[in-house]
Chains A and B, each alone.
With several copies, the nearest count.
Chain A
């Protein structure tokens, strides 16, 4: 069945709300406004204000309240409108949600799901264009997911809610209108990366909003006689090293594509794992295509220049191929 990423998220949320009375959705403008990306439009009428809970502008407060509610037996889905505002809530995520189980010697788990939009591409400028997946992927005690397909948008929520620990879900803002197949039957796996295109010459390893660009680059490369494999990480913490290494062992070449700023990017971690685990399989140094290290400019042509693009991926892939 063809559907959109947004519709897939909606279907997953509705199902979760219908199936488990402990589930509720809380965040800024999830209710009366209908969700800032229209993901929860109509839910207020369907599930009522207790379960579709509009929160005041208090990111630290309502994320912390989500943690408390999870401890108290509920299964909250907290929507932090965008990753940009999640900076205000990081203390609760790092110092409470992710540490609580360990600090309590295993007594308290925090079955919390946090959803947030991330990424650039809509000319929203420096404060509204962050990709900070790499920061979250650094924190022990949580899991981090990045659905990049309609299927994952549909299937990742249920296992995230079933997970006893905090799960952060990044929805790239450029994907909401993505159309694709969703033959949803069961929840998808949330432990492994997935090969989205098989190839033999070079591995393009990516996630989230960069997946469509990597796939587009692979098509362009095919036209140049280069057969690229595209690996969608899907799960950013814990990273699925095995799948990464398996692909690189096959292709012997890797380009990591990541919308985060280059220095200290998640791409660096992927490269580190590749050299740690598959150094002698490499025919060329792994390369990366990341965002330029500049706060995101507003002007469209500058934003485009700052972000990873298919053309840059093609160039990087050709370079590692020595072409």
Chain B
């Protein structure tokens, strides 16, 4: 545990804690709901990795764009998608953020520029390159509000994605064209059952990124402060220089890959060791140590998160099934319909 002081004011420091709690409690319930058959399909939990989404996304501005993976509940939530809409989506209700069409792996939200939710490993990377290209080419991309500054596209992906051709092509395009992409690699050491050492000849992922002449940072992904600070550095680099930046967040998932995974490929001891460094636990301890948080406050935050989760479940339960007659909806855009 990193014992250095948390350098934020109390409201922001607690915001980080609360968001981590919101993800944790939401996903714990989601796991239960999966068992109860309320949520189906694939469900990939982010439990253990919360510091990454929370620390990173709080460094972004509202007009930046986010591209994520199938393990994206946390990202969507921190970005500002309501827990109600996320829970309803996992239930398959039409109140879901993707009208129940997407499910857990395909959360989307135009209002917050949250571009999914992608179930193809590496599939979001070229997309992020293109969003950044649009920003480079269009006036909205470089001016925002009073200041002139570049918009950033943050692209989250796992260590497993690094082996894909899509990673290689996307890194090169972003670096060659100097596009404002923040590559956020969530290195949790496993791609399903395949450990990084069995998937990469070079396990230093920053070294891989550097081979494209992209600047990099490696950071403890269990430490929300370290994550936030690194992301701010990365974002500043992208906004100033225009070119991409790569951050490796060293993290760990505490749960199985998905609800189908019997976890044959790793020891309980390894998981336990990482749990000792759990982001919630270590961060709240730090806050307490520096007198920024009392146990009562912690419990209040937690209760608040749990209440939000309970409400979201009630919301999802009360939601409606989209009429079957609407099955063919949203395959093509209706004439005169919305486009992004």
Contact = CB atoms under 8 A, between A and B. Distances in A.
A binds B: yes
A98 to B, nearest CB: 9
Interface in B161-195: 161, 163-166, 169-170, 172-173, 176, 191-195
B12 interface: no
Interface stretch (B234-242, B288-296, B319-327): B319-327
A58 B164 contact: yes
B130 A56 contact: no
A96 interface: yes
B100 A297 contact: yes
B226 interface: no
Contacts of B176: 56
Interface string A156-198: 0000000011000000000000000000000000000000000
B74 interface: no
A61 B166 contact: yes
Interface residues of A, number: 77
Nearest to B138: A73
Contact of A57 (B118, B191, B322): B191
A57 B164 contact: yes
Contacts of B198: 32, 54, 56
A2 to B, nearest CB: 24
Contacts of B164: 57-59, 88
Contact of A71 (B93, B122, B131, B321): B131
**Of B102, B173, B176, B322, most A-chain CB atoms within 10 Å:** B102
Interface in B31-62: 40-42
Interface string A91-108: 110011000111111111
Q: Is the interface of A mostly helix, strand, loop or mixed?
A: loop
Interface string B220-253: 0000000000000000000000000000000000
Contact of B328 (A22, A95, A108, A292): A292
Given A69-B131, A105-B99, A125 B337 contact: no
Nearest to B191: A57
B173 A61 contact: yes
A300 B327 CA distance: 12
A60 B331 contact: no
**Of B40, B193, B338, most A-chain CB atoms within 10 Å:** B193
A54 B173 CA distance: 11
Given A71-B115, A165-B332, A298-B41, A104 B102 contact: yes
A111 B260 CA distance: 33
Contacts of A128: 42, 105, 119
19 contacts: A56-B172, A56-B173, A57-B163, A61-B126, A64-B126, A65-B130, A68-B129, A74-B134, A95-B119, A105-B100, A106-B338, A108-B110, A109-B338, A111-B339, A123-B103, A124-B41, A125-B119, A165-B333, A301-B321
Interface of B: 40-42, 65, 89, 92-93, 96-103, 105-106, 108-110, 115-123, 125-135, 137-138, 140-141, 153, 160-161, 163-166, 169-170, 172-173, 176, 191-195, 198-200, 260-262, 264-265, 321-322, 324, 327-333, 337-340
Given A33-B194, A96-B127, A125-B102, 16 more contacts: A32-B195, A34-B193, A60-B165, A61-B126, A68-B129, A71-B131, A95-B119, A96-B118, A102-B330, A106-B330, A107-B338, A125-B103, A127-B118, A292-B327, A292-B328, A300-B40
Interface of A: 22, 24, 28-29, 31-34, 36, 38, 41, 50-51, 54-74, 76, 84-85, 88, 91-92, 95-96, 100-109, 111, 122-128, 140-141, 143, 164-165, 292-295, 297-302, 305-306
Q: Which 6 A-B pairs have the closest CB atoms?
A: A68-B130, A64-B126, A72-B134, A33-B193, A61-B169, A105-B99
